[in-house]
Structure 1
């Protein structure tokens, strides 16, 4: 299971309405699209991959942060935030991202 959470630290609120895409790195080293979603009012987005399709490997989230800040009529230097992470099968990976107009950070949550 892979999920995410966007927190807007610049405005002190959940990052709602952020378009997020999930990719997996193939054996041929090409990024393969898995699924996309939009964060809800709590900034969370889950259900990117079904359990039967979830395998060990390298994954990448792409967050459309530029669109999010433009919708708030704010400027950011990050059009997207790409987070690449490795997964083992049988675990839950919750990868939150904290964003502001000029910085971002991430961690493995629960």
Structure 2
């Protein structure tokens, strides 16, 4: 963030199926200006840290009206599945989750894309609550 009047974005991801932060998830940030008809422009990319946080995106360009965050979830879930298949199987059985969870090394959502409007000078923290078969987002603080 360059100064107190800049518009900024941060995020974090909590893997609710494991009850812990989701580390090493790729996150891409795009911006656009105007009434929503303008083209998206890439503005930054990062990976979540050990606490599941991305707080190193650059301040948004002046005139930005919309932001798109793309969370690259498929590689994360593939890694989780390969590093601990037994706990995934046990969790699926306990939750009556579909059996495909045991055999598919990924997730139902290979990526999660969130689009939101922004106002100049505000900070937007957008947490993602994630599991292999669902997600939720909200504007945090």
Give me the TM-score of the superposition, normalised by structure 1.
Answer: 0.91
In structure 1, stretches of 5+ residues that fail to align are none
Partner of residue 45, structure 1:
54
2:18 match: secondary structure: coil
RMSD after superposition: 1.5
Partner of residue 84, structure 1:
115
CA distance in 2, matches of 1:54, 1:108: 21
Choose the corresponding residue for 2:126, options 92, 95, 99. 95
* 1:56 shift after superposition: 3.8
Partner of residue 40, structure 2:
31
1:72 match: secondary structure: helix
Higher helix fraction (1 or 2): 2
Q: Report the structure number with the largest CA radius of gyration.
A: 2
My pick for the range that moved more, 13-22 or 68-77, is 68-77
CA distance in 2, matches of 1:15, 1:67: 11
- Deviations for 1:62-93, whole angstroms, at most 9, x for unmatched residues? 00011110011153100000000111011110
1:14 and 2:21 are equivalent in the alignment: yes
Closer, same or farther: CA 55–47 of 1 in aligned 2, 3 Å: farther
* 1:26 shift after superposition: 4.0
Give me the TM-score of the superposition, normalised by structure 2.
Answer: 0.72
Closer, same or farther: CA 56–32 of 1 in aligned 2, 3 Å: closer
